Amino acid sequence: MNALSGKRALVTGASRGLGKAIALSLASQGADIAITYEKSADKAAEVVAAIEALGRRAVAIQASSAVAEETQRAVEETVNALGGLDILVNNAGVARGGMLEEMSLEDIDLMLDVNVRGVILTTQAALPHLGQGARIINIGSCLAERVPMQGISIYSMTKSALLSFTRGLARDLGPKGITVNLVHPGPTDSDMNPAEGEGAEAQRQYIALGHYGKAEDVAAAVTFLASPAAGQITGTGLNVDGGINA
């Protein structure tokens, strides 16, 4: 029997990359899946088709994590489509690099709106639907606690905010039997940060294992934290970074 049979999950920002891998991994363990996407309707439809090919229900919801009303609507549409909600994965995120004195207000606001406010508001909307044994899993970054290079101060700050949010929420929701955890990916081969892209070699020098991770590595960690086997784990951060922060 699959570990997540009968569970219903919402994965934000899951038309590609880490979100897609997470959605497929959860589905492979028996969960029905809702995903959100902002613009990539065709890619989102491909993810839905892949989930349905695994024998699970799936729905794609167009919603921007930067828009409060859309995050709330995405949760309601998930509950309506799947009949409830057991697992929330706050995966949607954006990165903008640059020195602070050169960064636009638009880029600063976007990172704050998606990486911090979007996580808070999606979680807030989900809470009335989450019961005993539910899981909240936030996707952070290996840059949340260490900043080994220039030009990432604001991005790192938005991800470090999830540390205290996760720990505090774990305290708040523990009496209800809901766990809250954080996964910190390191350099992971994706269209946002390709293993052979510009700056990849510089990042690779920091990785103890010497190579980029795969989206499936992060997905495996999320799926474990969503499973009954992780029932006694809450308020913690799990590094999936190849030892970059060792």
CA nearest neighbour of 81 among 38, 115, 33: 33
Active-site annotation holder among 37, 155, 206, 212 = 155
* DSSP notation for 216-244: HHHHHHHHHHHSGGGTT--S-EEEESTTT
Clarify whether 206 is annotated catalytic: no
* DSSP notation for 179-226: EEEEEEE-SB-SSSS-TTSTTHHHHHTT-TTSS-B-HHHHHHHHHHHH
* Spatial contact of 203 and 243, defined as CB atoms under 8 Å apart: no
CA distance linking residue 60 with residue 93, whole number of Å: 17
CA distance linking residue 18 with residue 139, whole number of Å: 9
Active site residues: 155
